[in-house]
Structure 1
Amino acid sequence: MKTMFARTSLLVGAAAVVSWILFRLTPFESVTSYVGLILTVAIVASVVSVGPAMATDRGRRLMLSTWRRGTRWEFWPPWIFYPPVLAYVAYLMAKHRSMTVFTATNPAILAGGFIGESKFDILQGLSGSGEYVARSSLLDGKLSTADKMLAVRRFMVDEGLTFPIVLKPNYGQRGSGVVVVRSAEALEACIRQSSVDTIVQEYVDGAEFGVFYYRYPSEPHGRVFSVTEKKFPAVVGDGRRTLEQLILHDERAVCAARLYCDRHRDELSVVPADGEAFPLVELGTHCRGAMFLDGGWVLTQALEDRFDAIARGFDGFYFGRFDVRLDGDAEAFRAGHGFKIIELNGVTSEATHIYHPGTPLIRAYGVLMTQWRIAFEIGAESRRCGVVPTTVRKLVELVREYRRIARGHLSLTSRRNARRGRPGRASVLPCESRGPAVRRRPIRATPVRCDDRGRGPATDRVAP
């Protein structure tokens, strides 16, 4: 589809160049006829490029996917969405007379959590709140596959864990390289392909939330800035349509159709049984297909007090987002217990409740700008207390080092195979499976559709 639009753009551009030449060489009275000719050529070129796709149901649904991703800002690529935020950050840099003062926000975390921080070290910093932290262990990337397998087995036995378990790179961002492993065979296949330090973590099978917290160093208590409820979209079978057709005709899933089709590429011809829910997402990352809703409905004073106590127990942490999974129900969570922290992100965290479908773009920008203002203010206060911000040169080095390490993260194919609990490679192209249909065993999941607005529109819980 992108190729078609690119071809159309080139044709229209070529027409514009030709028109300029003709305008230069042609008398004014002949211009009108040339304009009509150019418009006709542009229309014909567009029809020729887009027409074949519009002739099939699949093509029309993929075009709808492209349209929705272009008209709904939550799907915009970073280079389109972030320029206004970056401009505001530049203003804050000038105001505080430092390009990197925000890296002093969390003195206990490398560069404040901007990039290159050890996720395992952060989890260790939360050890004082052990009952609220998912059990984890670190695998040295330099170990042999056999030694890694032995270490994982020992960890699982010591902690009384069974499959599934989670593997994630110790240095990672935006869900890169994160895997839910469901069998020993898949575990070995993933470990064999990974060459980086890897966290092995217990899998908490419950609802997921993101709790954004901050505290000024001079204040005794902090507050929760944002709560995000993370949903994992699923499609429900009718016993007739293939998985690909279900994805393309689901009002939410079609928005990320190419992503889901690529992830489930060797199951696209499967026909789920009538009433069977097929989960499309396992990880709570928006860029990998999860749906983010405003989770303000769970925020209570008890919950805020609990996270304030946890955060204050991590000396040198003041600003970031806790990603948690519930091992109880929502009411227990509202009461301040029944959850496990699976990750804590630093200064580059986002108040992700802004991605609630239908949130006005201007409100989203307002939340992000307020968030960055608080980060700079906390960093400036830490600097006055003697914390030295990370230098620009060091940040550049960290970015380069992260890019090098990220090349060793598990590939998409490895993550697919781990999810299915078997080794091997997929061989079917995304969104193009045409093999014989088979049926899968039912899987319980909660379908999430495009018109699921949660419990109300996103709100701004920001500092006064």
Structure 2
Amino acid sequence: MKTPKWLKWEFLPWKYFYFPVYIYYLILSLKEGSMGWIAAVNPQLPLGGMADTSKNSLLVHFQKNLIPSSILIDKKLSDLELKEKLIASDLTFPLIAKPDRMERGLGVELVKDISALNKYNQKNKFEYLIQEYIDYPIELGILYYRYPDSSVGEITSIVQKGFLKIIGDGNSKVKELLKKHPRAGYFKKHIEKQWSAKMDHVLALDEELLLEPIGNHNRGTTFHNANDLINEALVRVFDNICKQVPDFYYGRFDIRVPSLEDLYAGQNIKIIELNGSNSEPAHIYDPEYSLFRAYKDLLFHYKIMFRIARINHRVNSVKYISAMEGFRILRYAEGNRNILRATR
């Protein structure tokens, strides 16, 4: 019998799940005498990358071979202007469309043709990225940090993403296969909305149907603890990659790569997205991971960020921001998220 979703801690709403983190953050803030210390983790980013951070502003620092081809679209662009910009870019469908300043997969869509892109454009109220769709078989979230007084960093978390899909048996309809799937039922409404026209379709034997192409936990992707992939060769690869971004000391790279051999060689890596101080050690969301271990790992990473901020503040003279300014950034970002949710 499948465990109800509400009994699986990995699906707790993040605002509730983070309650112990709020307490720990307050303790660190009292220790440092500032609520705004997190802004010094990555000094070039709002709150160190906690909120309202432009994805495009980070990706443009990397060598072209490390990132998907992409274009930034103004929120007021007409469909005709959009088509002209797309033609000039040489991008071809399918494509990924995503808001430039949102988190946790909000507003990210795979668009398969110009009609779908126009629909996305018309309902969009913010700048967004159109990005080449990279279909390499391995997607990882790699959390890297480096102390400002050190020339080398560390990798403390790797999550490997298992995309939500079903496999045909030659007899069962899609809706029947969904009922048998161990996790699909947790995302029933989302799947039925996306695949309503295929519910009565029978998949051939061993035919795969990818139900969700976006690698986000809250959209059905299973997060697998892949910390066993961490080694010195990989750390050196990300030492070199991270130094391409000025004043960047902590964050998670969401990447796709054809093979582990390519990963360790630093070849054919595509950085889909880079996050700053809002980055979680996403391996904790492995279904087999205990809640106690998850909190232990999560708080450990806040301790790392705190030390980075202190070094930047005391050695590199990076200023902390006021609590008022920090809350203003958070409120602004939350307001934009609410606006975006209302259009979805």
| Structure 1 position 342, deviation (Å) | 1.0
Q: Residue 381 of structure 1 aligns to which amino acid in structure 2?
A: I
Instruction: Indicate yes or no: 2:61 matched with 1:122.
Output: no
The two structures have a TM-score, normalised by structure 2, of 0.92
Verify: 1:153 aligned to 2:87, yes or no.
Answer: yes
- Which one-letter code corresponds to 1:193 in the other structure? K
Separation in 2, partners of 1:410, 1:336: 37
2:157 partner SS: strand
Match for residue 95 of structure 2? Answer: 165
Distance 1:81 1:110, change over 3 A: closer
Structure 1 spans left out of the alignment, 5+ residues: 1-63, 414-464
Give the deviation of 1:79 after TM superposition.
Answer: 4.2
TM-score, normalized by length of structure 1?
0.69
Q: Which 10-residue stretch deviates more, 382-391 or 169-178?
A: 382-391
Of 250, 255, 272, 1:342 maps to 272
Code of the aligned partner of 2:87:
R
Deviations 1:406-449 (A, max 9, x none): 35548786xxxxxxxxxxxxxxxxxxxxxxxxxxxxxxxxxxxx
In structure 2, the residue matched to 1:423 is none
The aligned residue for residue 383 of structure 1 is 313
Per-residue CA deviations over 1:347-399 (Å, capped at 9, x if unaligned) read 01100011112112111111000000111111121111221223222233223
| Matched residue, 1:197 | 127
The structure with the largest alpha-carbon Rg is 1
More helix by share: 1
In structure 2, the partner of 1:222 is 153
**Displacement of 1:149 after TM fit?**
2.0
**Secondary structure of the corresponding residue to residue 303 of structure 1:** helix
Give the whole-Å Cα distance in 1 for the aligned partners of 2:15 and 2:335: 22
Q: Is the Cα contact below 8 Å between 2:237 and 2:264 reproduced in 1?
A: no
Counterpart check, 1:183 vs 2:116: no
Equivalent of residue 111 in structure 1, options 47, 51, 58: 47
Q: In the alignment, which residue of structure 1 is the partner of 2:33? A: 97
How far did residue 101 of structure 1 move? 0.2
Paired residue for 2:291, among 351, 355, 361? 361
Equivalent-residue separation in structure 2 for 1:339 and 1:182 (angstroms) = 23
> Of 244, 251, 260, which aligns to 1:313?
244
Partner residue in 2 for 1:78: 14
CA distance in 1, matches of 2:329, 2:307: 23
Q: CA deviation at 1:266?
A: 4.0
Please name the residue that 1:235 is paired with. 166
User: What letter matches 2:83 in structure 1?
Assistant: M
User: Which of the numbers 221, 226, 235 marks the counterpart of 1:304?
Assistant: 235
CA drift at 1:261: 3.1
Match of 1:352 in 2: 282
- Matches of 1:406 and 1:255, distance apart in 2: 23
| Unaligned 5+ runs, structure 2 | none
Higher strand residue share: 2
Q: Distance in 2 between matches of 1:339 and 1:208?
A: 10
**Residues 45-75 of structure 1 deviation map (CA, whole Å, 9 limit, x = unaligned):** xxxxxxxxxxxxxxxxxxx66x431222112
> Pairwise mapping of residues 240-251 of structure 1 onto structure 2 (< 5 A)?
240-251=171-182
Q: What CA deviation, in whole Å up to 9, does each residue of 1:208-262 have, x standing for no partner?
A: 1011000111111111111111110211123433322211211232343344334
SS in structure 2 of the partner of residue 245 of structure 1 = helix
Partner of 2:261: 331
> In structure 2, how many angstroms separate the alpha carbons of the residues matched to 1:391 and 1:267?
52
Q: Distance in 1 between matches of 2:119 and 2:190?
A: 23
1:139 has 2:36 as partner: no
How much is the aligned-residue C-alpha RMSD, in angstroms?
2.0
Structure 2 residue identity aligned to 1:177: G
Cα distance between partner residues in 1 of 2:121 and 2:87: 13
Quickly say closer, same or farther: Cα 1:287–1:80, change in 2 above 3 A.
same
Partners of 2:29 and 2:85 lie apart in 1 by 45
Structure 1 373/289 Cα, relative in aligned 2: closer, same or farther at 3 Å? same
Deviation of residue 290 (structure 1)? 0.7
2:300 to 366, 370, 375: 370
Structure 1 vs Structure 2: percent identity of aligned residues?
32
Which residue pairs with 1:443 in the alignment? Answer: none
Counterpart of 2:82 in structure 1: which amino acid? Answer: K
- SS of the equivalent of 1:213 reads strand
Separation of aligned partners in 1, 2:244 and 2:201 = 49
TM-superposed CA distance for 1:117, in Å, is: 1.1
Q: For 2:43, what is the secondary structure of its paired residue?
A: coil
2:69 aligned partner, one-letter code: R
How far apart, CA to CA, are the structure 2 residues paired with 1:405 and 1:304? 35
Q: Is 301-310 or 317-326 further displaced after alignment? A: 301-310
Whether the 8 Å contact between 1:212 and 1:227 is mirrored in structure 2 is yes
Distance 1:400 1:81 in 2: 19
In 2, distance between residues paired with 1:203 and 1:411?
26
Cα separation, partners in 2 of 1:280 and 1:412, compared to 1, 3 Å? farther
CA offsets per residue over residues 320-369 of structure 1, 9 Å max, x none? Answer: 1011111x322211222221101100101100011112112111111000
